[in-house]
Structure 1
């Protein structure tokens, strides 16, 4: 009897497995929930990134369209030797001059023809067909292009004999949602005396 009192009884808790399956199942459910939340957040972030990428591209394309539109406007004004009114038929739909002068179309023409000094502000606003952009044109210089009649001391020998190249610096800003703005600049060369072109 005395020996039985000195014996120690050891209980092994792992021997009793009741509830261990539930604990393991809960642990697996927690892991699956964490994975699901992570996947959901990743999908939401990817959608936001895709939307921002779309807005950046839209603002870039709007700014690019303003460069082309301003080049066309300059070419038309130089060919006509006068101002181009905003919204006149098919010439300038969706065009607004931003000058505060009494005749903003004439102010733009005087600036690109070199009569007035460059003012450093945006000249034209394009808002047609979903395009939202502004552009500024600056007359840089005029030159005789290489290969023209002036280079070879000839004056009236047909096309190319009296060509003058006028260089313009054009800066544009395109806008889109979420205050997205893209700024672009380009140099436009107008060849006066040559048919065709922009």
Structure 2
């Protein structure tokens, strides 16, 4: 027997020998299923985190929105128009902490709603005559800035301009 025929027979025997092929195919199938399962678990974890973050942001927004409503009620309870600090500026801090603008650095809040804290800031900015009336009535404008903080640390701010008409000559 020649060397070429021995090599040819060995190659033919190796190709015809299929022992273990099914096991290798099964292992490849198991590995691919494990990878797909891991990907599905990671995707569901990420979506759960996103849903939790969205819930916290909604809580913070609703809290901030509640603060805006409370600031309007607070402003509605003021029965006389604000005065100016000086002739150079018309900004007046109405909620008593003496600083115009956003000042949420402190830890004290104006209230809570559903375990979320909120704070509001009302600043008088300008006034003008009311259309169609005499000089007896003026429309006063206020900047309202609110912040709501949810339990998880989510924070939302709402800003609005509110107008209120006051009688000024009595």
* TM-score, normalised relative to structure 1: 0.66
Name the counterpart of 1:63: 64
Q: Where in structure 1 are there 5+ consecutive unaligned residues?
A: 82-111, 152-161, 194-198
Name the counterpart of 2:128: 143
The CA RMSD over aligned residues, in Å, is 2.3
The partner residue of 2:148 within 155, 174, 191 is 174
Q: Distance in 1 between matches of 2:59 and 2:3?
A: 87
Name the counterpart of 2:83: 114
> What secondary structure is seen at the aligned counterpart in 2 of 1:185?
strand
Name the counterpart of 1:125: 110
Contact 2:115 2:150 in 1 (8 A): no
Contact 2:120 2:145 in 1 (8 A): yes
Question: Displaced runs of 4+ in structure 1, greater than 4 A?
Answer: none
Q: Distance in 2 between matches of 1:14 and 1:142?
A: 95
CA distances 1:112-138 after superposition (whole Å, capped 9, x unpaired): 833665313359612244441111111
Aligned length: 147
Name the counterpart of 2:165: 191
Deviation at 1:56, TM superposition (A): 1.2
CA distances 1:9-44 after superposition (whole Å, capped 9, x unpaired): 222323101111011001000000000000000000
Name the counterpart of 1:19: 20
Contact 1:124 1:136 in 2 (8 A): no
Q: Distance in 1 between matches of 2:24 and 2:57?
A: 50
* TM-score, normalised relative to structure 2: 0.76
Q: Where in structure 2 are there 5+ consecutive unaligned residues?
A: 86-91, 94-98
> What secondary structure is seen at the aligned counterpart in 2 of 1:8?
helix
> What secondary structure is seen at the aligned counterpart in 2 of 1:127?
strand
Deviation at 1:192, TM superposition (A): 2.5
